[in-house]
A and B are shown apart, each in its own frame.
Chain A
């Protein structure tokens, strides 16, 4: 059975994202998973299988290294749980895996939960230092996540004339959005001046161009559309979902096809998801977007790679105000990764929940009036993997 239009999102939940010293990994996972089941009006016994998205279990002492963490956290035995990991696409990949199982007819109801505990590093130390020490002894040395995206920022500014103020405008916009999201890590507004003059992390990116390091979890419960109708549940429907993996973690930045002005993985994933959903003019056909703004430059590149504008026109789209709240294609009304933070395994699930809430008209202060279709997008690797989901309103 084709996946498009067959899988319903019938429940979702998200923990508050932030520095959660009050919650351990399993507690965050349980809060999100049980919240999603409560939202769907279901108990563990009603759910047939689960997928867990956790990208880096070593951070939390290997808890989350396998699906067993879900079993331990919510009492799910003996049902099958599978952990998935695709860098920053991990959470959305958990959603995709669960959705495929529903579409295949194997299960009636599944849970996809993403959880990451990033502010409790084991052993103590920065994530950057951990990564620098553990990754490839030559090919990875010198690379950091901000450093890799900074390469695209430098190139984009050189080719398309974007400025530091343009990059800062993404942070300003998304922080302003986050003021209306009680689950976001940062909810205070920032100014262009603050962003531009913040300490540099990887030039031209400064601290306020970067997503914070955050703990959190999110979950969705999925079922077949038929099941949702039969059980009279309100639901959003997955109209299309595509995952594209175009290279490996170390090799991606060495490939000669990369122009450092965007990400092929996003374009490939969008093509799959849009094809399933029948989208050919996404700017006109969707009303809301959650995209992977791990760094300010990434959101501008995403506009182009997701087809919201032509390549090279992302900065003009930003300047036009179209992607801000009240614009004709608002992007990251949740506050995005810029303000929500990026607990890697949880992010993609949180985005799917955000768009599902929009098309179900339950997004609170962030609601886009009349929204019937939205896009959620993650980018991982960095840049070698991407997942795009088109979520529409159900019946």
Chain B
């Protein structure tokens, strides 16, 4: 029998990164940015974190961020969703996001859901696709894990990416990657709670080592400040400081946003060149960011958003939902996905009608139907707070006169208040979970 020493490495295995010499890292343009950070901030250690309302999740946050990135942009050919908290373990979540964003059925949709590093993995995929297809790609990364882990916050970031272009907010060049078997945070199928590795092992051999080595390899291609993201904030800060950085200034304001966190740091740091690293579970990704001057304003806006929000002692409690087991139908959800998710009505002359009627009015029988998405903003015509609806403790209901003339009767988003004459926006939210599916719909919230 060989002595143990003979078969165990006497030190952590040398990284021996070959990344620096790789000539094939994807390069592309950052064309537009969106972010959705829930309004509530709750205490987290010495800082605070974003806390989603009960009707928000990884999809609704991604949809809000994606909609902001797509504002006034052409529809992307590809949608990439990276989320550490997919509502569906199996069966996919990206298709709901595609509908909420009103993308075409021909959109190529991709979903990554494994680790907090996936935001940057998704960025690599997205940039490669944009480069190869020479067409825009929308990347949405989201996380809604604040109710599961005390250091986590909730939020989403969306990047609209394209092939290299002179008019971009920034040029993004993927850098070295890494993969090895090392568990720091994981959950087996059907595990009710997250599992975490021994902190002394994880810190020494996991995120800190990986990020430090990956950062050095990335800097070998050109020095720049390095932002490090990892499931452990402590490990990320240790690594970032080892690389000469100041540490994560965003996390104490938002919490760690899972796979969205590296992208949040990317967009908050668009005022100067930087390298962003994400490491988790033995895997790592890096990207070099070269912003254009115009990106500084975006960077400031995103930092302001991270610093904003309103303080609460604890996340808004989840309503009991007692007695609420709503009917659900897969065929109905598919048939009516246009009105439910894409918010489509039918225009007859100067009238936009929602929900779409089954048949045109008698004087419009000969006209082809003109399907039109409803405006997402309007003014409150009337409202109530319903104390007996079983879906929530008190359910706000509102009628909006939308800016395009249509009417919309909906719930008020949880935690929001609206009065007659207020300006309001329609935002995607979870309506309920019943019959084994999550029902998404549009709710009203104050314009901010």
A residues lining the B interface (CB < 8 Å)? 125-126, 128-129, 132-135, 137-139, 141-144, 146-147, 150-155, 158, 199-205, 250-251, 253-256, 258, 260
Contact = CB atoms under 8 A, between A and B. Distances in A.
B336 A155 contact: no
A125 B323 contact: yes
Pairs A-B, 9 closest by C-beta atoms: A150-B384, A155-B382, A147-B386, A142-B411, A129-B323, A253-B409, A202-B386, A203-B385, A138-B441
B355 interface: yes
Contacts of B434: 133, 137
Interface string B324-350: 111111001100100110000000000
A201 B325 CA distance: 21
Given A250-B355, A254-B408, A260-B399, A141 B384 contact: no
B432 interface: yes
12 contacts: A125-B323, A126-B388, A128-B388, A132-B326, A141-B411, A143-B389, A147-B388, A205-B384, A251-B355, A256-B351, A256-B406, A260-B399
Given A134-B327, A254-B408, A154 B420 contact: yes
Contacts of A255: 353, 407
Interface residues of B, number: 45
A128 B395 CA distance: 13
Contacts of B339: 138-139
A147 B409 CA distance: 12
A152 B420 CA distance: 12
Contacts of A152: 382
Interface in B176-230: none
A147 B407 contact: no
A215 to B, nearest CB: 20
Interface in B141-161: none
A137 B328 contact: yes
A138 B385 CA distance: 18
B18 to A, nearest CB: 52
A142 B410 contact: yes
B397 interface: yes
Contacts of B355: 139, 250-251, 254
B410 A202 contact: no
B252 to A, nearest CB: 37
B244 interface: no
Interface in B360-415: 381-391, 395, 397, 399, 401, 405-411
A155 B386 contact: no
A36 B176 CA distance: 89
B324 A129 contact: yes
A137 B329 contact: yes
B386 A137 contact: no
Given A129-B390, A154-B383, A155-B420, A138 B327 contact: no
A199 B325 contact: no
A155 B327 contact: no
A188 to B, nearest CB: 23
Nearest to A199: B387
Nearest to A155: B382
B324 A142 contact: no
Which of B388, B406, B407, B439 gathers most chain A CB within 10 Å?
B388
Contacts of B397: 142-143, 147, 150-151, 202
A133 B399 contact: no
A138 B336 contact: yes
Which of A141, A203, A253 gathers most chain B CB within 10 Å?
A141
A134 B432 CA distance: 13
Contact of A155 (B323, B381, B439): B381
Contacts of B333: 137
B135 interface: no
A205 to B, nearest CB: 8
Contact of A141 (B401, B408, B420, B441): B441
A351 to B, nearest CB: 26
Contact of A144 (B328, B388, B406, B410): B388
B320 to A, nearest CB: 12
A141 B326 contact: yes
Which of B323, B336, B386 gathers most chain A CB within 10 Å?
B386
Nearest to B381: A260
A297 to B, nearest CB: 11
A258 B401 CA distance: 11
Given A138-B441, A152-B382, A158-B420, A146 B388 contact: yes
B326 A137 contact: yes
A126 B391 CA distance: 13
B431 interface: yes
Contacts of A258: 407
Nearest to A254: B407
Contacts of A250: 355
Contact of A202 (B336, B357, B385, B390): B385
Which of A142, A147, A255 gathers most chain B CB within 10 Å?
A142
Nearest to B395: A142
Contacts of A254: 354-355, 406-409
A62 to B, nearest CB: 17
B332 A256 contact: no
B420 A201 contact: no
Contacts of A203: 384-387
Contact of A147 (B325, B384, B406): B384
A202 B389 CA distance: 9
B389 A147 contact: yes
A150 B398 CA distance: 10
A132 B391 contact: yes
B388 A137 contact: no
Interface in B239-253: none
A141 B391 contact: yes
Given A151-B399, A158-B420, A256-B406, A142 B389 contact: yes
Interface in B286-341: 323-329, 332-333, 336, 339-340
B417 to A, nearest CB: 11
Contacts of A199: 387
A256 B407 CA distance: 6
B408 A137 contact: no
A144 B420 contact: no
Given A138-B441, A250-B355, A254-B354, A133 B326 contact: yes
Contact of A200 (B387, B391, B401): B387
A150 to B, nearest CB: 4
Contacts of A151: 382-384, 397, 399
Contacts of B353: 255
Contacts of A204: 384
Contact of B431 (A126, A138, A150, A253): A138
A147 B410 CA distance: 11
A333 to B, nearest CB: 29
Contacts of A158: 382, 420
Contact of B340 (A138, A143, A147, A201): A138
A251 B339 CA distance: 12
Contacts of A144: 386, 388-389
A150 B386 contact: yes
A253 B399 contact: yes
A287 B326 CA distance: 46
Contacts of B420: 154-155, 158
Given A125-B323, A142-B389, A143-B409, 4 more contacts: A141-B431, A144-B388, A144-B389, A150-B397
Nearest to A252: B409
